[in-house]
Each structure stands twice: as structure tokens, then as C-alpha cells.
Amino acid sequence: MLRQQINTPTLKGYEHINRYWDPRLRQPAAKILPGEAYVSKTGEVIVTVLSSCVAVCIRDTRIGVGGMSHFTVPMLSQKSSEEHARLAAEAYACWAIEQVTNEIYKQGGQRAALEVKVYGGGPQLVAEAPDDMGARNAQFLRDYFAGEGIRPLEEGLEGDFPRKISYFPDTGATRVNDIRTRANDTIEQREQDYNRALLRRPDLGDLELFV
């Protein structure tokens, strides 16, 4: 379970991601938090936990390179025009997805060979955020990929519980487990931290952001 047990290098730009040895799966794992992404070209599993946030899993089926992005679509701010806020929010969400696709292309991937799976958009756990935040995130993904002419191979959107997603980019396999009972408020705290980090981003202007 120590970091030094992992012999395969990570791709440049993803060195900050928490990687560890999963003794049950007997392979390296990378755990991403809200606002993070990870791409792998080796036999790793990418893990995240979602509530109202969404995760997009993308891989090139020819070369077995793929990754996951975990994000939310920023809410509109009453301080700015609706059109400006909408475009800025969509730009942020598209950037979150393109982090993964652009890295896959850098590794030799091609758009025609991409396979997409989408998850999340479940219950809102941060008290000050609107209850329909998960549904808004889910609808954004449906609209985004419809506009791109891409039909996700698997869609696990909305629902009543947070989910743990385990994605194997070399094979495309995914394990989805509902989290029906929890011993602590770790999920809520991570979402709250993500929300605060988004609010500090100067390039997002006056958008009001929620997880």
C-alpha cells in the first residue's frame, strides 16, 4: 500500500494525484478528488466518489489509454448577465472534459476510437447548494455529448445515493457501487473544499459556484 510499491510511472502533469497499491485488485490505483482528472496508459484503476458531481470516463479502445475527470458545472451568478455566466460555466465544464481527451490524443488516441461512460449527478450533500444541482450536472452531460455526436456507452446518472466509481481505462471496465451508509462526512467535506477552491479561481469571474 506504499507509494514505492508502484513501479509504473505516471504521465506528466498528474504527479500530484494520489496513487497507491490496491491489495485486493493487486494493481496500482489512482484516486481523484473533486476538480481533478487522471489519465493512464498502464494497467491502473482510477477511483473516485461522487454525489452531485459527475465523472466522465473516456478511453481510446485501440490503444487502451484513458482517464477520468471529476467536476461540477458552475451555477449562474445573479451579479452577471445570464448569457455571460452560462457561457463561462459551460466553458469550465468543457475544459474539465477536454483535460482527458487532449491527453489521450497526445498519447496517440483518435476521436473515432473514443469510448465514453458518464456517472454521477446524484444527491446534493452541501447544504447551501440547490437540491437540483445533481440533475443539472447530469443534464449538462447529456446535452454536451449529444452536441458532440457521441452516445455514451454507459450512463449512470442521478439516483438517491453517492457512488464509488472504479474505472479500468486499459479495458474499459467500470465498477459502480452505491454508498448507502457512511461512517463520516468525508464526502461532504471534499465537496465543500472543492466549492471554496472554485470560488477562488480568478478566471471564473463572478460565477456563483456549487458542487
Lowest mean pLDDT among 32-46, 68-82, 141-155: 68-82
**67 near 40, Cβ under 8 Å?**
yes
Residue 44 in grid coordinates: 491502473
Mean pLDDT of all residues in 195-207: 53
Identify the residue with better confidence: 196 or 90: 90
Predicted local confidence at residue 14, as pLDDT: 95
Whether the per-residue pLDDT at 211 is higher than 50: the answer is no
Identify the residue with better confidence: 59 or 25: 59
Give the whole-number percent of the chain exceeding pLDDT 90. Answer: 56
Identify the residue with better confidence: 49 or 5: 49
Q: What is the mean pLDDT of the chain?
A: 84
For β-strands 114-120 and 65-71, DSSP reports them as unpaired
Give the separation between CA 155 and CA 86, rounded to whole angstroms. 24
Lowest mean pLDDT among 70-74, 84-88, 172-176, 187-191: 84-88
pTM for the model: 0.85
Mean pLDDT of all residues in 182-189: 71
Q: Residue-wise over 93-125: b if at least 16 C-beta within 10 A, else e?
A: beebbebbbebbeebebeeeebbbbbbbbbebb
Whether the per-residue pLDDT at 206 is higher than 60: the answer is no
Of the pLDDT bands very low, low, confident and very high (cuts 50, 70, 90), residue 202 is: very low
